[in-house]
Amino acid sequence: MKILSIFRVSVLLLSGCSIAPQATPALVQHDLGSGFRTLARKPLPLRTLSVSATPVVAGLNMHYREASRPTMRGSYTYNRWAAPPANLVDQALSRLLPVEPTGRCRLSFLLSDFILDINEQGAGSALLAGTLRISLDGRNSVFKRIVDVRVPVSSVDPAGEAMGLRKAVTELADLTSSWIAGDIEQFCLQQ
């Protein structure tokens, strides 16, 4: 009888261990990394460069979208951006696009999407979308361009998303620099 009681107590203790709550995983913060350089780009004739975001990408959530649910945005539970995406893009563009403050124009970028897009086959691409605006007063656009930069990612996870969006910001800088070159650059240099 004593052996049976010990056995029952042992079983209860062992089963109780499996009922105990699991530890919550640590929150992982991602950013776009360091090492952004001007890469010998010609300075742009801009007074300022600023980045803002639409409400859907204003927070710290890392978003993804699956092809099977094209109208739903998902967000990773234990992964966050270290700063709001607009701040991350602003910091990177400030390093990637040298400005010459003698110009009379202001460049603003309204970030409308910053997401990992997953297709039907399970492959992903980082999507950075928004609107570039050139203005004289910071409010009224003189030139405007909608951009949609997609970069394939090597892994469909938060780290892959961060690396893909890092590359997308570099492509955005290249696109912006070539867009401003020519007529816009001459307009911004006029006094």
Domain boundaries, the chain: 30-189
**Of 24-28, 103-107, 135-139, 144-148, minimum mean pLDDT range:** 135-139
pLDDT of 39: 64
Q: Which fold has domain 30-189?
A: Rossmann fold (3.40.50)
Q: Pick the closest to residue 157 from 54, 12, 28, 70 (CA basis).
A: 28
Which of the two residues, 138 and 26, has the higher pLDDT score?
A: 26
Rounded to 5°, angle at Cα 56 from 145 and 76: 120
pLDDT at 55 over 70: yes
Q: Is 178 helix (H, G, I), strand (E, B) or coil?
A: helix
pLDDT at 114 over 80: yes
Q: Pick the closest to residue 136 from 98, 110, 103, 111 (CA basis).
A: 103
User: Which span out of 12-21, 158-167, 180-189 was modeled with the highest average pLDDT?
Assistant: 158-167
pLDDT at 9 over 90: no
Cα 174 from Cα 38, distance rounded (Å): 10
What tokens does 104 get? 């009379």
Q: What average pLDDT score do residues 133-143 get?
A: 86
